[in-house]
Amino acid sequence: MTFLNAALLGGLGAMAIPLILHLIRRRRFRVVRWGAMQLLEGVVSERRKTLDFEQILLVATRMAVLGVLALAMARPALTTLGAGFLRGSRTVAIVLDVSYSMGHGGRFEQSLEAAREVLRSLGENDVATLVLAAERPRVVFDSPVGDRDAIAAALEKASPIHGPARLGEAVLAALDVLARVERPVEEVFVLTDSQRLTWEGDTGERASLDIVAEALPLTGREGVADGAMPVITWIVVPGDGTPPQPFIERIELPRVTRAGERVPIRVRVVSPGAPGRGGTVSVRVDGIERGGTPLPPGGAGEAVVRANIDEPGSHWIEARLVESGARADARLLATLTARERIRALLVDGAPGDEPLGDETSFLRLALTPYGDDGSGGGAPGAADFDVETIAPAALETTELERFDVVVLANVTAVSREAAAALEGFARAGGGVVIFPGDRVAAASWNRDLGGLLPAALGERRTATGDPLGVRVAARREVGQRHAALGSLSSADLAGVGVRSWLALDVADRDATVVLAMETGEPFLVERRSGRGRVMLLATACDDDWSNLPTRPAYLPMMQQTLLHASTGAAAAQTLRPGEPIVLELPLEEAGRAAVVRLPDGQVVEGVTARGLEGALLEYRDTWLPGLYTVRIADESPAYFAVNADRAESDPAELSPSTLVERVEARGFDCVVGVGGVATALGRRRHGLEIWRPLVWLVTALLLIELVLEQWIGRGGFARSARRSR
């Protein structure tokens, strides 16, 4: 136990007052010449045995009142930490949440003030460290330091960054630092806000509190009492009520497109606060303004900007809310790869001599609408596909690596060798598109290409009733567009009728149904196979089984399906912080150095591509959101966009009382607001203050004194004994 106002312990001397008063009163008595002596003697005789004891009891109670009152005024605190503190040897870790939400509503300023207050509480022999909690914890001082100015300077440099805070990991990092020094008292102060995301975790993320609690051998208070664990205090700073601002949630666009394509860029804006007065979304491609479009009324919704991507190669797209200035979440990056030509191998299972008589003639026409030689009159998008058609028998001898995508159209069966080649092709990132037909031996396919097929091939089915056949509809998740469809919509598919198809069984396969028929049966199914993609259509690619080839949707659908299937090998270029940049290069590029330009302008040189099967260039330090540019020698740059988690812009908060309840349930301490820091410090420094219960004790003693006096006046023990008799 220790005392915050030890000087007031002198007040314990006041305990003597009742005793002195008692003695004085006994000595300075009055003399009364009395008549009714026999009555008085009778009374005194009756209570002779207990009168003195009752007096002692009363005086003792009065002494206790003053004694406990003096104790309470000296502010005693019970703690095992007290001894350590008195020896002046604390190790303190300040974990400062620098997530994006902290920059809103004055939270970060409040946290800094709280951190300064913690710093001011450090004694001469105390040491401290600082951990900044962002997407990845940053330990500012690997070993705790006693230089408070250095810690204060580091605090001043800190600022909220655009991203979430992994508070749990940050606290664990702080505990690691504390474990490096042997001090009797270890304390961690976690400064954060009340954002729901921080406390309850995002999709796939565990809540910070759980991470810390589960990492500790004992619950908070048990561990502290045991001396085995540092004291962890969560200091929660509430916002100042500033309403949240609209932000860009995502950009939707195909990962790969063809050079010269006009790409729809869909920008989704969310307004978590009250509906705004509208706004404008501006889009830049490779830093060049490509126009803006107004948002729907209310300032939220989807804005679509269409932009031509003329040059092949990597492109970066930036969407921003014009009215929101430089706010980080009013800006979002995306990347896009434009390909000049896509090499497609068509394996025709039903060749024919007549015009449009073979299986792949419609498909070939759709892929090269202006002719195979690329002399399509200079129209945009002309000759995007280099198409080569072979018979199934030639599949075994064809070097599939020369192609981006292989199409199997009404092929009866494939040999085991061909199947193995196709699987290897897909694993390496190639695209495989399969169209059934009347020649397909489903059982053979299922047997030999079962590992590749997105769905098991079933029996052939035929539409009855409607001569047009069964209709097809786009099947999409709410708010999501499947990249395989590009800009194709349900309206475009309105006139498509399927007369005959194969039943596709997607059970137990990691496949996605992209399109379905109105009967609910799968129509277009996709599956990842290795790094590649396999697409399977339920019907033939010619007009034997459906009217699809004669519909306007056929051309974009076929082009988009093949394009999408061929993007498996393309590196993911829109990343989350911490996700590594991976660039695949031809094997001969192995050993070549690349230069990575970071969002803050810093340039990292000498990043080397490592070669195994192919050459792989990898850069892992992508914690800073923004645009990363990777360039090898004089080649065109590859762009990678690192976007902070948009969930940080979700202003949903937990109430302070809920937070305190949750934290304390885990055995940790929790205070709300900068004002609570002093309380927390006092508690940490000296333990649990017990002046309140002492004041209650004083009140109780006063009550006891009152009752005792009344009881003694009424006869005390003698009366009680008489009654019991």
**3-state secondary structure (DSSP) of residue 440:** coil
Binding site for another protein (CB under 8 A): 25-26, 28-44, 46-47, 51, 54-55, 709, 712-716, 718-719
Residues with Cβ < 8 Å from 346, sequence gap 6 or more? 360, 363, 364, 387, 388, 389, 390, 407, 409
The CB-of-60 to another protein minimum distance in angstroms stands at: 15
Closer to another protein at the Cβ: 20 or 32?
32
Closer to another protein at the Cβ: 33 or 692?
33
Closer to another protein at the Cβ: 35 or 355?
35
Closer to another protein at the Cβ: 131 or 708?
708
Q: What is the dihedral of CA 234, 238, 243, 244, to 10 degrees?
A: -10
- Rounded to an integer, what distance in angstroms lies between the CA atom of residue 100 and that of residue 286? 26
Closer to another protein at the Cβ: 38 or 602?
38
Closer to another protein at the Cβ: 40 or 703?
40
Closer to another protein at the Cβ: 594 or 712?
712
Exposed / middle / buried, residue 91 (Cβ in 10 Å: 0-12, 13-18, 19+): buried
The CB-of-41 to another protein minimum distance in angstroms stands at: 6
Closer to another protein at the Cβ: 39 or 394?
39
Residues with Cβ < 8 Å from 12, sequence gap 6 or more? 67, 70, 71
Alpha helix ranges (H) inside 74-105: 81-86
The CB-of-718 to another protein minimum distance in angstroms stands at: 7
Closer to another protein at the Cβ: 86 or 702?
702
- Rounded to an integer, what distance in angstroms lies between the CA atom of residue 461 and that of residue 550? 21
The CB-of-724 to another protein minimum distance in angstroms stands at: 16
667: Cα separation from own chain's centroid: 25
The CB-of-53 to another protein minimum distance in angstroms stands at: 11
The CB-of-194 to another protein minimum distance in angstroms stands at: 59
Closer to another protein at the Cβ: 186 or 705?
705
The CB-of-719 to another protein minimum distance in angstroms stands at: 7
Torsion 582-584-585-588 (CA) sign: positive
Closer to another protein at the Cβ: 382 or 721?
721
- Rounded to an integer, what distance in angstroms lies between the CA atom of residue 558 and that of residue 657? 57
Closer to another protein at the Cβ: 41 or 214?
41
Instruction: Provide the token pair at 88.
Output: 């002046």
> Considering only CA atoms, which of 658, 422, 686, 440 is closest in space to residue 541?
440
Q: Residue type for 229, please?
A: M
What is the pairing mode between strands 342-348 and 231-237?
Answer: unpaired
Say which residue the tokens 């829109």 belong to.
574
Closer to another protein at the Cβ: 468 or 721?
721
The CB-of-682 to another protein minimum distance in angstroms stands at: 44
Closer to another protein at the Cβ: 26 or 277?
26
Closer to another protein at the Cβ: 370 or 711?
711
Closer to another protein at the Cβ: 21 or 304?
21
695: Cα separation from own chain's centroid: 47
The CB-of-67 to another protein minimum distance in angstroms stands at: 23
Tell me which DSSP letter residue 439 carries. T
The CB-of-83 to another protein minimum distance in angstroms stands at: 46
Torsion 25-27-30-32 (CA) sign: positive
Integer-rounded Cα Rg, in Å, for the chain is: 39
The CB-of-68 to another protein minimum distance in angstroms stands at: 24
Residues, the chain, total? 725
Q: Residue type for 381, please?
A: G
What is the CB-side half-sphere exposure of residue 473 using CA atoms within 13 A? 8
The CB-of-25 to another protein minimum distance in angstroms stands at: 5
Q: Residue type for 59, please?
A: V
The CB-of-62 to another protein minimum distance in angstroms stands at: 14
Termini Cα distance of the chain:
47
The CB-of-709 to another protein minimum distance in angstroms stands at: 8
The CB-of-77 to another protein minimum distance in angstroms stands at: 40
Q: Residue type for 275, please?
A: P
The CB-of-712 to another protein minimum distance in angstroms stands at: 5
Instruction: Provide the token pair at 506.
Output: 């997607």
CA-to-CA dists, residue 122 to 117, 119, 267, angstroms: 9, 5, 50
- Rounded to an integer, what distance in angstroms lies between the CA atom of residue 225 and that of residue 80? 7
Closer to another protein at the Cβ: 480 or 710?
710
For residue 435, report the phi and psi dihedrals to the nearest 5 degrees. -115, 130
Kindly write down the DSSP assignment for every residue of 672-694, as one continuous string.
ESTHHHHHHHHHHHH-EE-HHHH
**Count of beta carbons in the 10 Å neighbourhood of residue 525:** 25
CA angle 181, 186, 188 (to 5 degrees): 115
Containing 237, the helix (H) or strand (E) segment is strand 231-237
Max Cα separation, the chain? 149
Say if residues 556 and 484 touch (Cβ distance below 8 Å): no
HEC-encoded secondary structure of 300-347: CEEEEEEEEECCCEEEEEEEEEHHHCCCHHHEEEEEEEEECCEEEEEE
Residues with Cβ < 8 Å from 655, sequence gap 6 or more? 194
Closer to another protein at the Cβ: 32 or 288?
32
The CB-of-224 to another protein minimum distance in angstroms stands at: 50
Residues with Cβ < 8 Å from 484, sequence gap 6 or more? 514, 524, 526, 535, 560, 561, 564, 565
The CB-of-16 to another protein minimum distance in angstroms stands at: 19
